Amino acid sequence: MKRPLSVGDLQLGERYINMDFMFLRSLTGTELISLFVSYDIACQWHVNLWDRMSRYDHQLLSIDKDNKYFVFLVPKFHLPAHIEECNIRFSFNLTRSVGMTDGEAPERVWAATNPLAGSTMNMGPGSRRDALDDFFNDQNHKKIINLGRSFLDKVKEAAPLVIETKQAYVDLETSFAPETVAKWTQMVTLWESGATTQPNPHPNPFESQSNDTFLAGVRHQLAEEVAAREAAGTESIGSVREDMHVTELIAGGLQLEEQQSVICEFYPPDMLALKSHATDRQRTLVVERASKLRRKILAWTDIQAQFFPVVDCLRQEEDDARADIAAGQSQAIPGIGVTQINLWLPSAIQRRIRGSCSQEIITYEFRLRVGQANEALNTIRRLLLIRTHLYNQKDRYSRGVKANTRSNTKIAGLEERVRRAAAMYHAAWDALNVLGDSLGNSDWQTSLKELKADDLRGIPRAQFGDPARQRTGPSGTSGRSSVEAEVSLDRQASQRSAGPAPGPSQTKRRRMGAVGAPKLSWIWVQQTVSRKEGDPEHTDEALRIEWARTRARALRWSEELDLLEEEMRRVQQFLLWRADWWEMRAEIDGVAADSDALEELEGKAAYARQQAQFQRDLCGSFARMWGHLPAYILEARNRAASLTSEDLESEAGAVRDDNVENGADTPVPLGPTGAILTLENE
């Protein structure tokens, strides 16, 4: 709805003073206590809003903020373009009492308003404002008369999803120890209680609280330490050559190592990675990319030789070995590909010549490798969660060759990214074995274990009992209620699942580890020196975050149903009140000075009674349209409230599908979330 005085002209973009005026003027005199404010840059606009309001010396631009409950959020469509912190702090999905509101209503009206520009640009100020007022009034009127169908469709969508999301939440919750769930619940409750305080004083359950430092963080720590030593004059002379510190050299080597692994996939000797239909431009780009990397490596090795003179000897040995092989085959000495150049980082030197690097240099690479391994492991977990969601989406919604091909292409691309992240982890883990042995440090092995092929699996379905992969019983089963709705809850649920996809072969089952109850891979559990496997708090934060988001998803749909029911009641009450208001306007006593004035009063009274009857007719139309919804909503609530871990299998007539494997890669009920999926953005 367009509120009075809520639209204004902008002189130079969306300056705060313009937005403050329209926001505060629109709220002047409102009796609402709880206000959820949706604005695409609310994250920065709201910070000093109240300070700016105190400087506006105008009574109409002041509201009683102390006795009102304000929550500032960013619309769902605009939120993905913001930084990660905004995606957590200002998300409608993670905020209580908003239901499934997307917050985009203030933006949608402009799509219908834009065509008016051709007319209003030629109008004077007064005519332009009158035209816009008429248009906004018309939009408000159309929105009111369409509330009947709109609320009906929303209830029919929300009721089955209340059951589905509650079932997914209960099923997920039963996978964890009660004390773990209690601790997480307390954490979520405390964070929600501080939603109106900026910043929130409580830890956010939707973001990682882990102290694991990634590669960029380690580089920052090392840079600060080097700067502090140089400022104090205690930095060793051998740590700097020209303008480069040895930590920068090692970090640059790790980047070159990663670029080698990436380009290795696209630049084999015969360029088979480029398919036969590759264009000359594509081939040129690949060759140029490899040449640039070679030049970077050569420049880096020139500086490396100043820090590690032994590297020249090692490279000479490599050249001699290649020459011997070529001589034995009576061939010329072959060139070396860019991906075959050995960088000889300290870990590789230590593996070849033990004791050739100082403990200080070994410690530098050790810290960088730990950060690299943590980053790779985090990437693997994130990609596996996305893969689980893509499998789920494919099984539920992909029908036909085109849709399945597109889904398979996305999954294949994701698999390649998982493989690439695993290769990075393997490189870091191999280096840590050498470096840790040289330092006598084995504590890192508690949290960074050897990554085997079988460890690259998602969260086992057996722990979650995926409701989307269960068969829905036929209509008329005991799970159905006698409520006569246009579309039953069971039928809507079955339409969403669209039936289970055929299960894989027994060979694939065994390869996926589906024999018996699948065990959670170690990558999903967080272990440190003080927190060993088997401790009650060993569960990784990825599971806590997924639990919190699953809980939030269930709460949002439950709130959506509650809000829809209350809004339908208020709409009918408003229409009846509005009818009485028009009746009062018709009965206002007036004194007519002449016959013309009397006729005018009679015309006004007739118009008022016509409007009153229109409001009553509209209320009656809504009542007939929504007549079956109270029982429909009650059934959904009762079925959601009755969900427990014991009766999940029999709920809604669902039975276990023995044809669906129990493998770790089988989709689990994880819907799209901000942490692991890129939502649509502008």
pLDDT band for 254, please (50, 70, 90 cuts): very high
Mean pLDDT of 664-672: 35
pLDDT band for 222, please (50, 70, 90 cuts): very high
The per-residue pLDDT for 675 is 28
Share of the chain above pLDDT 90, in %: 38
Q: Dump pLDDT digits (tens) for 113-149.
A: 888 988 999 999 999 999 999 999 999 999 999 999 9
460 within 8 A of 520, measured Cβ to Cβ: yes
Residue with tokens 């050995």: 342
The per-residue pLDDT for 107 is 83
Read off φ and ψ for residue 96, nearest 5 degrees: -75, 155
626 within 8 A of 159, measured Cβ to Cβ: no
The per-residue pLDDT for 676 is 25
Residue 595 burial by Cβ neighbours in a 10 Å radius (0-12, 13-18, 19+)? exposed
* Range among 205-214, 297-306, 392-401 rated most confident: 297-306
Residue with tokens 């290649």: 322
Q: How far apart are CA 270 and CA 125, in angstroms?
A: 70
Mean pLDDT of 219-236: 91
Q: How far apart are CA 473 and CA 655, in angstroms?
A: 7
Kindly give the residue spans of alpha helices, DSSP state H, lying in 308-345: 310-328
Mean pLDDT of 453-467: 61
Query: Which amino acid is residue 363, in one-letter code?
Result: T
* Range among 427-431, 490-494, 587-591 rated most confident: 427-431
Indicate if the pLDDT at residue 611 is higher than 90: yes
The per-residue pLDDT for 266 is 56
Average pLDDT, the chain: 79
Taking the CA atoms of 404, 405, 410 and 414 in sequence, report the sign of the dihedral they define.
positive
* Range among 26-35, 180-189, 361-370, 452-461 rated most confident: 361-370
The per-residue pLDDT for 546 is 81
222 within 8 A of 106, measured Cβ to Cβ: no
Mean pLDDT of 534-546: 61
Share of the chain above pLDDT 70, in %: 77
Mean pLDDT of 640-649: 62
Q: How far apart are CA 175 and CA 465, in angstroms?
A: 10
Task: Point out which residues pair with 531 in neighbouring strands.
Answer: 528
Residue with tokens 């130079």: 12
pLDDT band for 220, please (50, 70, 90 cuts): very high
The per-residue pLDDT for 212 is 66
SS3 174: coil
Q: How far apart are CA 541 and CA 524, in angstroms?
A: 8
The per-residue pLDDT for 623 is 96
Q: Report the run of H or E that residue 72 belongs to, with start and end.
A: strand 69-73
Residue with tokens 């959670």: 520
Q: Dump pLDDT digits (tens) for 281-339.
A: 878 888 888 899 999 999 999 999 999 999 999 999 888 888 888 777 766 666 688 88
More confident: 547 or 506:
547
All structural domains of the chain with their residue ranges: 1-117, 152-205+539-682, 215-446
What are 439's two structure tokens?
């330092």
User: pTM for this one?
Assistant: 0.62
The per-residue pLDDT for 574 is 95
pLDDT band for 45, please (50, 70, 90 cuts): very high
Q: Dump pLDDT digits (tens) for 332-341.
A: 666 688 888 8
Q: Report the run of H or E that residue 99 belongs to, with start and end.
A: none
Q: Dump pLDDT digits (tens) for 565-610.
A: 999 999 999 999 999 999 988 887 555 555 567 788 888 889 999 9
Q: How far apart are CA 5 and CA 15, in angstroms?
A: 17
The per-residue pLDDT for 517 is 41
The per-residue pLDDT for 679 is 27
Mean pLDDT of 373-400: 84
Q: Dump pLDDT digits (tens) for 545-576.
A: 888 988 999 999 999 999 999 999 999 999 99
Indicate if the pLDDT at residue 462 is higher than 80: no
Mean pLDDT of 80-103: 88
What are 18's two structure tokens?
């313009």
Indicate if the pLDDT at residue 408 is higher than 70: yes
| 3-class DSSP string for 575-598 | HHHHHHHHHHHHCCCCCCCCHHHH
Indicate if the pLDDT at residue 532 is higher than 50: no
pLDDT band for 269, please (50, 70, 90 cuts): very low
Report the residue count for the chain. 682
Indicate if the pLDDT at residue 663 is higher than 60: no
The per-residue pLDDT for 536 is 43
Mean pLDDT of 181-189: 90
Q: How far apart are CA 180 and CA 142, in angstroms?
A: 50
More confident: 176 or 244:
244
Mean pLDDT of 627-633: 94
pLDDT band for 624, please (50, 70, 90 cuts): very high
**629-641 helix and 147-173 helix, angle to the nearest 10 degrees:** 10
* Range among 269-273, 401-405, 632-636 rated most confident: 632-636
Q: How far apart are CA 64 and CA 196, in angstroms?
A: 15
Q: How far apart are CA 305 and CA 317, in angstroms?
A: 15
Task: Point out which residues pair with 70 in neighbouring strands.
Answer: 35
Read off φ and ψ for residue 37, nearest 5 degrees: -100, 125
Of the candidate ranges 138-142, 169-173, 261-265, 624-628, the one whose mean pLDDT is the lowest: 261-265
Q: How far apart are CA 376 and CA 372, in angstroms?
A: 6
Of the candidate ranges 189-203, 371-385, 489-503, 559-573, the one whose mean pLDDT is the lowest: 489-503
Buried b (16+ CB within 10 A) or exposed e, 202-224: bebbbbeeeebbbbeebbeebee
pLDDT band for 388, please (50, 70, 90 cuts): confident
